[in-house]
């Protein structure tokens, strides 16, 4: 990833308007900044959230609060707690998010 043509920007995520994205169960609230080709998001998953699709996009994801289970389409499951992250390339392995407790994430993709 090359970070090009991005000025210095300090972000107060509490002031960024959120958009709602429904899952198969629950919902996700995204606060999004688009910086050239890079999307940066603060995402809040409601308790009981289950993504409604398998995602093939690459991400760098950091769990800030709660517990996130990332399911891979090949059957593997990873439980991430605050301070844990995952990194995956575009097209590497389809994955989806699940949380029984809710979670807050910081995502770059």
Residue 103 lies in a domain: yes
Closest CA to 65 of 21, 101, 18: 101
Task: Give the integer Cα–Cα distance in Å for 2 and 17.
Answer: 27
**Domain that residue 81 falls in:** 19-108
- Number of neighbours of residue 80 by Cβ within 10 angstroms: 20
Each of the 109 residues of the chain gets a pLDDT tens digit; together they read 678 888 899 999 999 999 999 999 999 999 999 998 899 999 999 999 999 999 999 999 999 999 999 999 999 999 999 999 999 999 999 999 999 999 999 999 9
How many structural domains is the chain composed of? 1
Tell whether 4 is covered by a domain: no
Q: What is the pLDDT of residue 4?
A: 83
The predicted model scores a pTM of: 0.93
H helical segments located in 10-86: none
Domain membership of residue 10 (yes or no) is: no
103: domain CATH number is: 2.60.120.10
């Amino acid at each position: 990833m090359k970070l090009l043509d991005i000025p210095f920007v300090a972000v107060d995520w509490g002031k960024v308007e959120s958009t709602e994205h429904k899952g198969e169960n629950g919902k996700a609230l995204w606060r999004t900044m688009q910086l050239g080709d890079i999307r940066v998001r603060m995402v809040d998953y409601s308790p009981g959230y289950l993504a409604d699709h398998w995602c093939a996009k690459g991400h760098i994801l950091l769990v800030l609060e709660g517990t996130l289970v990332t399911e891979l389409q090949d059957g593997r499951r990873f439980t991430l707690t605050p301070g844990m992250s995952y990194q995956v390339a575009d097209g590497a392995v389809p994955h989806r998010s699940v949380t029984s407790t809710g979670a807050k994430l910081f995502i770059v993709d």
